[in-house]
C-alpha cells in the first residue's frame, strides 16, 4: 500500500492482482482466481470505507499503453479519496428529479429496446451505453440495486468473474487485442449522500489516445455506434454459449 499525504489532500493506493506468473494476463486467469481478486476488492473496499476521512473509493485496471498502464505485468489498483468526483453526483441529481435510480431506468429502457444489449447473465446485464465515449465501451450492471460495490454478494462475485472472463476473452479476440480500462463506479461513503447510486463496471477498449478537443471539452468523439458495437459482441457471446 502506498500513502500519499499533504496539507491539501490524501489518498490511499493499493496495487494487487495475485499474479501467479507475470506472463499471465487478467483474462487468462482461471475463474477461481478472478473470484479471489474481486473478493479481495470487496474486503479492501469495506476496510477503507471505515476511515471517516475517505469519501470515495475507486477501483480500476489499466491494461496496455493506450489505457495508461504504468507497469508491464497485469495489475489493478484501488484509490481512496477525501473528495467525491463530480460525475458521481449525476445519479443523485437524477434521483432527486425523478425519484428513481438512473441505472435501473437505463436497464429498463435498454431491455425494452434490446439493440444495445450484449449479454444477460443471472445477476448482470451487459450493454453498450447510448452515446458511448469509446468504441465498444461496455457496462456491466448488477440487476439488483446496490449503491456500493462493497455490498456485492458471493453469488454475484462468482457470476461476475465468469461473465467478465468470457467477455474479455471475446472482446480481445474480436478487436485484435486492444488496450483497455476496467473501472468500477460506486456510491460515495462516510456522510456523503449515495442516494440514487447504483454500482456498475465499465470495460473500455482504448484504440486511440484522448485528443485535445476531448480533454478541453469533456466531449468524446466515437466513430463506432453503440448499436454496432453491441451487435458484434452480442453475436460472439451467443456463439460462445451455444
For the annotated catalytic residues, the residue numbers are 75
- 97 HSE (CA, 13 A, CB side): 8
How far, in Å, CA of 119 to CA of 234, rounded?
6
- 101 HSE (CA, 13 A, CB side): 19
CA proximity to 113, closest of 240, 239, 230, 236: 230
How far, in Å, CA of 84 to CA of 118, rounded?
30
Cα-based distances in Å from 97 to 91, 92, 100, 102, 205? 10, 9, 8, 10, 33
Amino acid at each position: 500500500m502506498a500513502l500519499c499525504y499533504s496539507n491539501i489532500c490524501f489518498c490511499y493506493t493499493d496495487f494487487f492482482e495475485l499474479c501467479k506468473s507475470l506472463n499471465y494476463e487478467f483474462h487468462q486467469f482461471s475463474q477461481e482466481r478472478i473470484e479471489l481478486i474481486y473478493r479481495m476488492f470487496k474486503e479492501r473496499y469495506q476496510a477503507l470505507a471505515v476511515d471517516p476521512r475517505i469519501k470515495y473509493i475507486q477501483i480500476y485496471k489499466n491494461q496496455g499503453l493506450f489505457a495508461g498502464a504504468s507497469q508491464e505485468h497485469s495489475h489493478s489498483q484501488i484509490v481512496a479519496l477525501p473528495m467525491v468526483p463530480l460525475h458521481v453526483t449525476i445519479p443523485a441529481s437524477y434521483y432527486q428529479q425523478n425519484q428513481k435510480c438512473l441505472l435501473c431506468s437505463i436497464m429498463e429502457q435498454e431491455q425494452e429496446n434490446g439493440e444495445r444489449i450484449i449479454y444477460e447473465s443471472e445477476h448482470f446485464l451487459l450493454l453498450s451505453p447510448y452515446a458511448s465515449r469509446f468504441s465498444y465501451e461496455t457496462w456491466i450492471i448488477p440487476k439488483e440495486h446496490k449503491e456500493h460495490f462493497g455490498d456485492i454478494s458471493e453469488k454475484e462475485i462468482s457470476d461476475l468473474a465468469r461473465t467478465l472472463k468470457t467477455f474479455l476473452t471475446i472482446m480481445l479476440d474480436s478487436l485484435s487485442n486492444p488496450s483497455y480500462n476496467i473501472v468500477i463506479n460506486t456510491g460515495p461513503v462516510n456522510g456523503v449522500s449515495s442516494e440514487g447510486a447504483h454500482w456498475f463496471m465499465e470495460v473500455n477498449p482504448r484504440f486511440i489516445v484522448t485528443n485535445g478537443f476531448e480533454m478541453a471539452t469533456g466531449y468524446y468523439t466515437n466513430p463506432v455506434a453503440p448499436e454496432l458495437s453491441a451487435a458484434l459482441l452480442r453475436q460472439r457471446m451467443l456463439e460462445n454459449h451455444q
